[in-house]
Amino acid sequence: MASENKTPVAIVMGSDSDLKVMQSCVDQLKAFGITPEVRVISAHRTPAVAADFASSAINKGIKVIIAAAGMAAHLAGAMAAQTTLPIIGVPVNSEAGVGGLDALLSTVQMPPGVPVATVAIGKAGAKNAAILAVQMLAIACDDMAGKLVEFKKAQTEKVIEKDSNLSLS
Ligand code: RP5
């Protein structure tokens, strides 16, 4: 699903099998009015494409890269190695993995000087990656900042409603 449109957020995934997790990231970004560029790029299977994508991202107007992978999840780190853009890493619990802990450690344990902002394993992390990306964009965008305020307000109201509707059996 490569997009020609100029968008501030790119999502890269190590495999199309990661999309079942990353769809929640796409959906959350769309809820904020952002249609991300989405690519399948692998640090191990297509390393040259990964390096080229990361090193040319700034010139395409991308502001944040979200990178998701499972198993030996080096994609976010491979992105961070090639760009000064902020990279958000999403560890994926892939079928062949060991519960996502493999991907979490591979993503988060970056050497000093090459940070990856790592979120939780799986769909919760994928959703948070989208929100974190919007928070980064909101630093320089009042429109996004306003949408975040509305998002938080709606989230708070939902929990308050659940609290008042709680019925125990
Ligand atoms: C990783 O290996 C991918 O990110 C995926 O989570 C995992 C398995 O990939 P497939 O065998 O499903 O393509 O690189």
- Res 89 pLDDT > 60: yes
pLDDT classification of 5: cutoffs 50, 70, 90 = low
Q: What is the CATH number of the domain that holds 160?
A: 3.40.50.1970
Report residue 90: phi and psi, to 5°.
-115, 110
| pLDDT tens per residue, range 108-128 | 999 999 999 999 999 999 999
157 within domain boundaries: yes
Determine the atom of ligand 1 nearest the C-alpha atom of 95. Answer: 8
Determine the atom of ligand 1 nearest the C-alpha atom of 44. Answer: 14
| pLDDT tens per residue, range 19-68 | 999 999 999 999 999 999 999 999 999 999 999 999 999 999 999 999 99
150 within domain boundaries: yes
| Number of structural domains found in the chain | 1
Write out the two tokens for 63: 């502001």
Other beta carbons within 10 angstroms of residue 7's beta carbon come to 18
86 within domain boundaries: yes
Residue 46 Cβ contacting ligand 1 at under 6 Å? no
76 within domain boundaries: yes
pLDDT classification of 169: cutoffs 50, 70, 90 = confident
pLDDT classification of 1: cutoffs 50, 70, 90 = very low
Mean pLDDT of 97-114: 96
Question: Alpha helices, DSSP H only, in the chain?
Answer: 19-31, 47-56, 75-80, 101-108, 123-138, 142-165
4 within domain boundaries: no
pTM for the predicted model, two decimal places = 0.95
3 within domain boundaries: no
1 within domain boundaries: no
88 within domain boundaries: yes
- Which residue lies with its CA nearest to atom 1 of ligand 1? 70
Q: What's the domain range around 43? A: 9-165
